[in-house]
Amino acid sequence: MKQDLPDIIENLLENYFHDLEGEKPNAVYEMVLRSVEKPLLIYIMNYAQGNQTKAAEILGLNRNTLRKKLELYNLNF
């Protein structure tokens, strides 16, 4: 059975909170964003063959915003 991305993320979050075993979660929003954003950027940059203008268009971002995000994750394309 094929799952949609939101369903997969929900399952992963359920596992994450279960694995905490009562420990207090911390900075979950940032953790999830970083976990998703970096592989997304890598995939799209490869898909766009390193063309930042094309990648920014696919992502719906300004090219300068894309460049800042690539720098944030130390990604060189």
**In this structure, what are the phi and psi dihedrals at residue 38, rounded to the nearest 5 degrees?**
-60, -50
**pLDDT given for residue 3 in this prediction:** 86
Evaluate whether residue 26 is within a structural domain: no
Whether residue 37 is predicted with pLDDT greater than 90 in this model: the reply is yes
Domain of residue 56 covers: 47-77
State how many domains the chain has: 1
Q: In b/e form, how buried is each residue of 28-59, taking b as 16+ CB within 10 angstroms?
A: eeeeeeeeeebeebeebbeebeeebeebbeeb
54 confidence band (pLDDT: 50, 70, 90):
very high
**pLDDT given for residue 48 in this prediction:** 98
Overall residue count recorded for the chain in this entry: 77
2 confidence band (pLDDT: 50, 70, 90):
confident
